[in-house]
């Protein structure tokens, strides 16, 4: 599925609908990652770090960004996502920016090993979290598109 189409679907949903989709897609992604035999905690950390990186793609990260992103990550991944560890690791946008390339590479490895349906679920999940404030910026779209590059 094309990212633009997913964006339109996500942005057309209200907050309650996005939250329900987030729970549904997160469960599918988590179960699929387990089935792939990947180390779940590492895959979840890579995915969460990648998603946090989408905020940096807009230029900076602040407490407001964390307030939007972290509840979504907790809803999506529960105990598998150590939000406190991520926040300590990414105190400033510079910290995240230094790690963005590594996160993109790690997520592309997971993404490239995934089935088409898992790829769609991963993109959907990333875009749902990016849309936690109700919209997905062009910078966030460009950043998330990196997963699908060959």
Q: What is the pLDDT of residues 16-40, one digit of tens each?
A: 998 888 888 888 888 887 777 767 7
Q: What pLDDT, on the 0 to 100 scale, is given for residue 17?
A: 92
CB 122 within 8 A of CB 46: no
Question: Of 92, 82, 88, nearest to 45 (Cα)?
Answer: 82
For residue 90, the 8-state DSSP code is: T
What is each CA distance from 82 to 54, 78, 97, in whole angstroms?
18, 8, 20
For residue 58, the 8-state DSSP code is: T
Angle of CA points 147, 113, 57, to nearest 5°: 15
> pLDDT tens track of the chain, all 150 residues?
588 898 999 999 998 998 888 888 888 888 887 777 767 777 777 787 777 777 665 555 666 666 767 777 777 777 777 767 766 666 655 666 666 677 777 888 888 888 889 899 988 888 888 887 788 888 888 888 888 775
CB 10 within 8 A of CB 134: no
C-alpha 113/C-alpha 133 separation (Å) is 30
Q: What pLDDT, on the 0 to 100 scale, is given for residue 100?
A: 66
The pTM of the full predicted model, rounded to 2 decimals, is 0.78
Question: How many helices and strands, by DSSP H and E, does the chain display?
Answer: 8, 0
């Amino acid at each position: 599925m094309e990212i633009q189409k997913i964006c339109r679907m996500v942005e057309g949903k209200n907050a309650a609908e996005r939250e329900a989709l987030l729970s549904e897609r997160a469960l599918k992604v988590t179960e699929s990652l387990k089935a792939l035999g990947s180390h779940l905690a590492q895959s979840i950390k890579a995915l969460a770090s990648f998603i946090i990186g989408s905020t940096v793609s807009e230029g900076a990260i602040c407490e407001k960004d964390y307030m939007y992103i972290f509840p979504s990550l907790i809803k999506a991944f529960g105990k598998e996502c150590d939000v406190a560890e991520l926040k300590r690791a990414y105190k400033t946008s510079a910290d995240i920016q230094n790690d963005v390339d590594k996160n993109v590479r790690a997520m592309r490895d997971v993404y490239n090993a995934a089935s088409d349906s898992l790829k769609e679920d991963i993109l959907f999940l990333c875009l749902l979290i990016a849309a936690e404030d109700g919209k997905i910026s062009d910078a966030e779209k460009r950043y998330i598109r990196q997963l699908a590059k060959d």
